[in-house]
Structure 1
Amino acid sequence: MRDARVKLVTTLAVYSIKGGVGKTTTAVNLAYLAAAEGLRTLVWDLDPQGAASFFFRIKPKVKGGGKALLRDQGALDAAIKGTDFERLDLLPADFSYRHLDLRLGQSDKPRRQLERLLKPLRREYDLLLLDCPPGISTLSENVFAVADALLVPLIPSTLSIRTLEQLDAFLREKMPRRAPQLLPFFSMVDETKALHRTIMQDAPRQDLQILQSPIPEIDEIERMGLHRMPITAYAASEMAVGSYRALWREVKLVLSGEW
């Protein structure tokens, strides 16, 4: 049964300029938690590597590839697959997504193509969750245009903080009237490392408004690839499962305006 007390933002993108920061594991686990609470959830795996598709045991293949999806709404609808979990669907990755920037650039409105595609899906789902490839590109600008919020994983390092500042500056410059809300959080945290502890302690002083629920770097999360399902669906470790549950609770509070 859906939680009527929480009014979720419709479109949430898990995005980072950097790769290898725990983006896909976050997208997969939060999508599972949302669906388990009764929200009709769709994950779109936009990364041609197809990690989210792999975790959900779905072949990363779309008939006609990205070209067909951009051309025909029916092709997008037909590409959506059910997962092993109730109320949780997936739009799989396709290796042709590596050419999406080129395809989007050929449009007369290159920054609005995802918005056009996702508009009818908003009537079918409560939460659209986009698992995005790293980097700033035409595709990422489409994501910025359609997303209500960007959930940004940060490894506790000076370079990660720098990329967050770069992303914030880019959004302020390019989208001053309608920038998505930034929701950065610390990911792959190793509290035995002095640098990680220092970065996490100093970040609030920089007014970066980082969420307060970090995701630890532990073996159990890395073993998701062996189980090929969300860790929150099978693991007994409270450290692993509890961290994603805490992050999801905090994201809901932010999106509902109660944070």
Structure 2
Amino acid sequence: MRHNVLVPRTLAVANQKGGVAKTTTVASLGAALVELGQRVLLVDLDPQACLTFSVGVDPEDLDKSIHHVLLGGVKVQDVIVPSEEGPDLVPATIDLSTAEVNLAAESGPEHLVRIALRPVTSQYDWILIDCPPTLGLLTVNGLSAASEVLIPLQCETLAHRGVGQLLDTIHDVQRLTNPGLEVLGVLPTLYDGRTNHARAVLETIADTYALTVLAPAIPKSIRFAEAPAIGQSILSTAPRSTGANAYRALAAALLETR
């Protein structure tokens, strides 16, 4: 599958269920793309600011964030945290938790992220958006700004129960705000290929929802928990680990579909 997508390629990483390695995927995939010579911008749309923290930025030290951009008066280029060795970042803070109420009063509130990012799109090859673990207005904004959506999914029986709801939201976005949005597929995370159960869950997802299952699956590893604690991705903290190499392989595969 090849995409005729204008620069940048904008990927929303979404799943309303927490604990599926959504933020880990944004940070690690972003770092892997930078290793491949790509210009990458990460966008944190989660009020918990886990992505911001995981790349070494303390949200409490920030005066301005994506919250201030969406509410107007601040330009996105004024809040971007640049990185010499990794992706740049549009950070989040806890202020974003009040944004949905305020944004709902705006005209065309589902387009605010896309509009906010427009001045910097020519500077990047990829924009990766970390959507919050909800199906609210911030996630709809992320989907409306994206060319594609990637769904990280933990390979456990109950983990896929919300996939149908997420797909309903994606279909609404395709119908109402972003007809060009494509579902890139499901990325298996926290995967233990030694168990029949994990493999069976993957088959169920593919059969039930007719979704592409992306490869390679991201293995379960303590290395992923260690990386954010020191503000780096697993590609820096454990560069030869199976987890780091899995994200490198995913990045390489995505580049081939440009």
- Shorter chain as normaliser: what TM range? 0.7 to 0.9
Q: How far did residue 72 of structure 1 move?
A: 3.6
User: Structure 1 segments of 4 or more deviating over 3 A?
Assistant: 6-9, 64-67, 71-75, 201-206
Partner-residue secondary structure (3-state), 2:109: coil
Partner of 1:168: 167
AA aligned opposite 1:172? H
1:200 deviates by 2.2
CA distance in 2, matches of 1:152, 1:240: 18
Q: Provide the TM-score with structure 1 as the length reference.
A: 0.86
Q: Which runs of 5+ in 1 are unaligned?
A: 1-5
- What is the distance in 1 between the residues matched to 2:157 and 2:180? 24
Any unmatched runs of 5+ in structure 2? none
1:154 positional shift: 0.4
Match of 1:3 in 2: none
Contact 2:65 2:79 in 1 (8 A): no
Q: Secondary structure of the equivalent of 2:253?
A: helix
The letter of the residue matching 1:149 is E
Q: In the TM superposition, what is the alpha-carbon distance from 1:215 to its structure 2 partner? A: 0.5
- Structure-2 separation of matches of 1:217 and 1:43: 23
Q: How does 1:1-259 map to 2 (within 5 A)?
A: 10-61=9-60, 62-64=62-64, 67-72=67-72, 74-85=74-85, 88-176=87-175, 178=179, 180-182=181-183, 183-206=185-208, 207-254=210-257, 256=258
3-state SS in 1 of match to 2:88: strand
Deviates further, 39-48 or 17-26: 39-48
Task: Give the letter for the 2:193 counterpart.
Answer: E
Q: For the structure 1 residues 65 and 200, does the alpha-carbon distance in structure 2 shift closer, same or farther, using more than 3 Å as the test?
A: closer
Relative to structure 1, is the Cα distance of residues 115 and 8 closer, same or farther in structure 2, using a 3 angstrom cutoff? Answer: closer
How far residue 236 of structure 1 moved from its aligned partner, in angstroms, is: 4.2
User: How far does the alpha carbon of each residue in 1:50-82 deviate from its partner, in whole angstroms, 9 at most, with x for none?
Assistant: 222222211215425555312446442211112
- 1:181/1:33 CA distance change after superposition, 3 Å: same
Distance in 2 between residues matched to 1:118 and 1:104, nearest whole Å: 16
TM-score by length of 2: 0.86
Deviations 1:150-184 (A, max 9, x none): 11100113333332222223322452361522221
Please state how far the C-alpha of 1:212 moved relative to its aligned partner.
2.5
Q: Deviations over 1:196-242 (max 9, x none)?
A: 12112444334222212210111122211343211112314341221
Q: Which amino acid aligns with 1:249?
A: A
The count of aligned residue pairs is: 249
Once residues 121 and 25 of structure 2 are traced to their aligned partners in structure 1, the CA distance between those partners, rounded to angstroms, is: 22
One-letter identity of the residue aligned with 2:81: K
SS in 1 for 2:216: coil
Which moved further from structure 2: 95-104 or 241-250?
241-250
> Please, what is the CA RMSD of the aligned residues?
2.3
Aligned-partner Cα distance in 2 for 1:201–1:184: 11
Determine what percentage of the aligned residue pairs are the same residue: 26
Aligned partner letter, 1:218 = S
